[in-house]
Amino acid sequence: MVAMTLDDLRETFTLLDDWEERYRFIIDLGRTLEPMPDADMTEANRVRGCMSQVWLTAETRPGAPPRMHFRADSDAHIVKGLIAILLVMVNDRPAQEVLALDAEAVMAELGLDQHISPNRRSGVTAMIQRIKAEAADAAVA
């Protein structure tokens, strides 16, 4: 995935003139996701509550403190972009930081709560819950 910070993401959303451009940016961002091996696209890694197929894996990488690394994929272009936005927020951060993050507030700040369908919003919520569950497991491990 392209190295991007949350501040970069906020700035890009501000600079884009309209939602058509933002949607294109979201789809392009999804194309930069780290590839997920077919072997990881299993029922166990599937995110429940998403209309599209979404798979998510998590690993804890060594460090002081250890950091979470997520990989995810979807069969829908816009969903891949939404995943990429979430991963900008959470990837390579300590589990406690992932747990403390209000990802829904960030999505609202970007205007996504008003510009994606209710089904997509439910899917984003399901992805956030799964990411937080993985971080909670890592925090107690």
Peptide bond into 37 cis (omega under 30): no
18 catalytic per annotation = no
Of 33, 50, 101, 112, catalytic = 50
Q: DSSP characters for 46-69?
A: BPTT-SS-EEEEEEEEPSSS-EEE
Phi, psi dihedral angles at 57 (to 5 degrees): -125, 155
Specify the residue for token string 């939404």: 82
> Torsion angle, CA of 35/41/47/50, rounded to 10 degrees?
80
Q: What angle do CA 21, 27, 29 make, to 5 degrees?
A: 100
Both tokens of 35, joined, read 């590839």
Write out the catalytic residue numbers: 50
